[in-house]
Amino acid sequence: MSDTKQNPGAEPLESFETSFPSSHKVFVEVEHGPWILRVPKRRIHLSGDESALDVYDTTGPQGIDVTKGVPPLRKEWIAARESGGGSNVSQMHYARRGEITPEMTFVAEREGVSPEFVREEIASGRAVMPCNINHPESEPMIIGRKFLVKINSNIGNSAVSSTIQEEVDKLHWSVRWGADTVMDLSTGDNIHETREHIIRNSAVPIGTVPLYQCLEKVNGRAEDLTIDLFLETLEEQAKQGVDYFTIHAGVLLRYVPMTADRLTGIVSRGGSIMAKWCLAHHKENFLYTEFERICELMKRYDVAFSLGDGLRPGSIKDANDEAQLAELKTLGELTEIAWKHDVQVMIEGPGHVPLHKIKENVDLQREWTHDAPFYTLGPLVTDIAPGYDHITSAIGAAIIGGHGTAMLCYVTPKEHLGLPNRDDVKTGVITYKIAAHAADLAKGHKGAQDWDDALSKARFEFRWEDQFNLCLDPPTAREYHDATLPADGAKVAHFCSMCGPNFCSMKITEDVRKYAKEKGLETAEAIQAGMQSKKDEFRDTGGKFYQPTNS
């Protein structure tokens, strides 16, 4: 591996145009009250008479000065609401009052549904729109089982390596390839400053695990953590504009011993910190006992809960065990409390789960946490492939997404082994876009099938350039093609590199179809009636499979 890849901050990111040739950003304008909302899409232009394809776009404003950050898209919307003077500014609060916010109208256009439908889903708690009032730069997006499946990428420095510039680059790189939200999991020095840079430059919601910063403040002594310190840290981060907090309030004292006989104990960092606190004090988790105080804070900024699964399984062996399920039930109890305050909630899920136990996770999550959006890490369906855990987990992610999980937290090839570099981030995001899109197809989401059909049609018609441009990762597809057939002529050739000209099944099929249509032979009966007499005529043309067009 080259040094430049290990130190990606040294190289500028490739441009939007390099990543997506023949694409450009378009903005659909939607009126909402006094405002014109400009909803971004990526338009993929195709050759000839083919219609362009518009796809969901997470890339955010381009060409922005990192020291200045992206424009505050929502600033006026938020200000207009604040003039109302309410102490609860959550989207759920407005939704439950019957109010359709500009944010709801915005996501309605993005998702191809009505604003009223968005409002209902948020009011019911089945969907979440993470949008802190102090993060006006964010382009509204929604997370819920009735919407497109979303993906999250994790970035963040640790004590061991990486710089702020690298983290902002990872943010931009994540959203370039399709990350819908980004979690800043920094744990080392400069935690506040790193986060500030990330939020000011992010057009997607940012999540954090505030416990990590709290622990820095007490020099790593878990037993010194207090609710006051925790609330102070939440306030600090909420003021910066963090859109959702992972909070491990379901790790109860009585659940900790349930993990003692596990193969891999407690693998969640937050979970193990809170477990240690509980044992040291022999008290109940203060995040649980003081949960309503946390709710009071969250609603003043509209920060959403991502209720953490601190007792998630860390191995196939531990999947769906007593500790995991006990915590899940508690998360359901906490969900009801948060909803009482009109605070938005999603529920985090595992982790490591074999294929046959995945659906049970979704079924129990829906039942016990009242259909709050589920947000899962993978799950990995086997433990034996470190180095390929983006794949082991994408298998589980696609399946759990197909069952209705609303957001999938990505895993990179470096999971369990080291910190992801820029290439790993891209691989993780693309892999999770695959899982999310596969789930969208299975759920029959409007528009998802169109993308597949456009690409398959381009493939069948030998429109190579269109095929590349329609890919999730156009540069890689082109590079792979060119590795075998680099000549420009090959991109218009009526055969592909796998089979050579005499064996191209698509060319043969095209001939079959054309022949059948010319002769009006579109049904089996017609063939029976008409083919025999035409046989000799066909043979007289030479009957060759392939008449080269460019030789």
Which residue's CB is nearer to a second copy, number 49 or number 525? 525
67 contacts a second copy (rule: CB under 8 A): no
Taking CB under 8 A as the binding criterion, the range among 32-40, 90-98, 256-264, 287-295 that sits at the site for a second copy is 256-264
* Run of H or E residues at 181: strand 181-184
400 contacts a second copy (rule: CB under 8 A): no
Taking the complex as a whole, the smallest distance from the CB of residue 140 to a second copy amounts, in Å, to 25
Taking CB under 8 A as the binding criterion, the range among 84-92, 114-122, 227-235, 509-517 that sits at the site for a second copy is 509-517
Taking the complex as a whole, the smallest distance from the CB of residue 477 to a second copy amounts, in Å, to 4
Whole-number Cα distances in Å, 547 to 39, 173, 494, 501, 550? 47, 45, 10, 9, 9
Taking the complex as a whole, the smallest distance from the CB of residue 537 to a second copy amounts, in Å, to 11
The distance in angstroms from the start CA to the end CA of the chain is: 41
Can you read off the two tokens belonging to residue 486? 């680099």
Helices (H), 341-463: 358-368, 389-402, 422-442, 448-460
Number of residues in contact with a second copy, rule: CB under 8 A?
Answer: 139
Which residue's CB is nearer to a second copy, number 38 or number 534? 534
449 contacts a second copy (rule: CB under 8 A): yes
Which residue's CB is nearer to a second copy, number 79 or number 355? 355
* Contact of 356 with 396, CB cutoff 8 Å: no
Give the residue from 423, 385, 391 showing the smallest Cα distance to 410.
391
What is the number of residues in the chain?
551
Cα–Cα distance, 463 to 467 (Å, whole number): 6
159 contacts a second copy (rule: CB under 8 A): yes
Cα–Cα distance, 423 to 399 (Å, whole number): 25
Taking CB under 8 A as the binding criterion, the range among 28-36, 301-309, 368-376, 387-395 that sits at the site for a second copy is 387-395
47 contacts a second copy (rule: CB under 8 A): no
Taking the complex as a whole, the smallest distance from the CB of residue 343 to a second copy amounts, in Å, to 27
Residue of the chain from 80, 113, 264, 337 that contacts a second copy (CB under 8 A): 264
441 contacts a second copy (rule: CB under 8 A): yes
Pairs from 329-334 (Cβ < 8 Å, separation ≥ 24): 329/368, 330/249, 330/250, 330/252, 330/255, 330/288, 331/249, 331/250, 331/307, 331/368, 331/369, 332/368, 332/369, 332/370, 334/249, 334/250, 334/288, 334/291, 334/305, 334/307
Residue of the chain from 66, 419, 445, 465 that contacts a second copy (CB under 8 A): 419
496 contacts a second copy (rule: CB under 8 A): yes
489 contacts a second copy (rule: CB under 8 A): no
Query: DSSP class of residue 174?
Result: H
Site residues (CB under 8 A) for a second copy, limited to 303-322: 314-317
Can you read off the two tokens belonging to residue 54? 């518009």
Which residue's CB is nearer to a second copy, number 236 or number 383? 383
Site residues (CB under 8 A) for a second copy, limited to 164-203: 187-188
Whole-number Cα distances in Å, 312 to 26, 251, 325, 353? 41, 10, 9, 10
Whole-number Cα distances in Å, 94 to 119, 210, 418, 436? 9, 26, 43, 29
Site residues (CB under 8 A) for a second copy, limited to 277-296: 279-282
Taking the complex as a whole, the smallest distance from the CB of residue 215 to a second copy amounts, in Å, to 7
Taking the complex as a whole, the smallest distance from the CB of residue 203 to a second copy amounts, in Å, to 23
Residue of the chain from 215, 303, 407, 408 that contacts a second copy (CB under 8 A): 215
Residue of the chain from 123, 182, 183, 222 that contacts a second copy (CB under 8 A): 222
* Contact of 223 with 260, CB cutoff 8 Å: no
- Assess whether the previous peptide bond of 379 is cis (omega < 30° from 0): yes
Taking the complex as a whole, the smallest distance from the CB of residue 224 to a second copy amounts, in Å, to 8
515 contacts a second copy (rule: CB under 8 A): yes
Give the residue from 120, 131, 144 showing the smallest Cα distance to 74.
131
Can you read off the two tokens belonging to residue 551? 């030789």
Which residue's CB is nearer to a second copy, number 200 or number 433? 433
Residue of the chain from 37, 267, 345, 346 that contacts a second copy (CB under 8 A): 267
- Assess whether the previous peptide bond of 351 is cis (omega < 30° from 0): yes
Taking the complex as a whole, the smallest distance from the CB of residue 478 to a second copy amounts, in Å, to 9
259 contacts a second copy (rule: CB under 8 A): yes
Say if residue 282 is exposed, middle or buried (CB neighbours under 10 Å; 0-12, 13-18, 19+): exposed
Residue of the chain from 24, 97, 192, 416 that contacts a second copy (CB under 8 A): 416
Taking CB under 8 A as the binding criterion, the range among 102-110, 226-234, 258-266, 290-298 that sits at the site for a second copy is 258-266
Residue of the chain from 11, 76, 82, 223 that contacts a second copy (CB under 8 A): 223
* Contact of 432 with 151, CB cutoff 8 Å: yes
Site residues (CB under 8 A) for a second copy, limited to 347-386: 352, 354-356, 381-386
Site residues (CB under 8 A) for a second copy, limited to 519-548: 521-524, 526-528, 531-532, 534-535, 538-539, 543-546
Site residues (CB under 8 A) for a second copy, limited to 464-483: 467-468, 470-473, 476-477, 479-481, 483
| CB-based burial, 29-46: b 16+ in 10 Å, e otherwise | ebebeeeebebbbbebeb
Lay out the site mask for a second copy across 79-108 (x = CB under 8 A, - = otherwise): ------------------------------
Taking the complex as a whole, the smallest distance from the CB of residue 252 to a second copy amounts, in Å, to 9
Give the residue from 75, 244, 65 showing the smallest Cα distance to 172.
65
Pairing assessment for the beta strands 304-307 and 244-247 based on DSSP bridges: parallel
Residues near 1 by Cβ (< 8 Å), separated by ≥ 6? none
Taking the complex as a whole, the smallest distance from the CB of residue 332 to a second copy amounts, in Å, to 20
